Chains A and B, each alone.
Chain A
């Protein structure tokens, strides 16, 4: 079955740029979505269709998927961005939804 690989953790200083990667076989041929989850809360969609932002999500959040890996970029990181981030795709060969293992973003 299809597997998405994320680094377990990423650390970044406030005001800097965080990049969270999501690797998978031929992921450039798939559409990647990204979620933010803070402790005790339901996940929040931050990027869909590789690089689209839902309303209410700051422009600081952007996505790219031009090859392996796909990347979620958070510019000018703030303390409030500290959370777990998950990538997700639809695997058409199995009709399954696949989530990455998640990346814990720590703001130093």
Chain B
């Protein structure tokens, strides 16, 4: 069974930085798009970013473009999200998600999420 385990969530001050990690196992990591999806407390799902299998293509939501960077290390079966210039509205549970399909992605495998709180 696919396993995705996020880490790195924390309380951080506005303007600060944080790096999330996702350890993937039980599937061929370098054969799948990977995605970050977030959910603010009591709110709906919001797509954050996608990265192609080989890292050659990356896409970002307008709300995080220029502040967040998605990356992956296929040798380590790991996905990352570098977040900077954090704002209160970035407070959310961040899910690491495997993308199925090709470009027209859907998401069958989700991690349990890691909580990022941006507050002074």
Contact = CB atoms under 8 A, between A and B. Distances in A.
Contacts of A45: 106-108
Majority DSSP secondary structure for residues of B touching A:
strand
Given A1-B62, A48-B100, A97 B35 contact: yes
Interface in B34-48: 35, 37, 44-47
A67 B104 CA distance: 18
B106 A42 contact: no
B108 A99 contact: no
Contacts of B104: 31, 90, 92
A97 B113 contact: no
Given A43-B45, A48-B100, A88 B110 contact: no
Interface in B50-70: 50, 59, 61-62
A90 B103 CA distance: 7
Contacts of A42: 95, 110-113
Majority DSSP secondary structure for residues of A touching B:
strand
Nearest to A99: B45
Contacts, number: 59
A95 B60 CA distance: 9
Nearest to A34: B106
Interface string A73-101: 00000000000101010101001111111
A15 interface: no
A54 interface: yes
Interface in A38-53: 42-45, 48-49
Nearest to B109: A45
A90 B61 CA distance: 12
B105 interface: yes
Contact of A99 (B46, B101, B111): B46
29 contacts: A1-B62, A33-B106, A35-B45, A37-B45, A42-B112, A42-B113, A43-B110, A45-B106, A48-B101, A49-B101, A84-B44, A86-B44, A86-B45, A88-B106, A90-B104, A90-B105, A92-B104, A95-B103, A96-B59, A97-B35, A97-B47, A97-B50, A99-B44, A99-B45, A99-B47, A100-B44, A101-B44, A102-B44, A102-B45
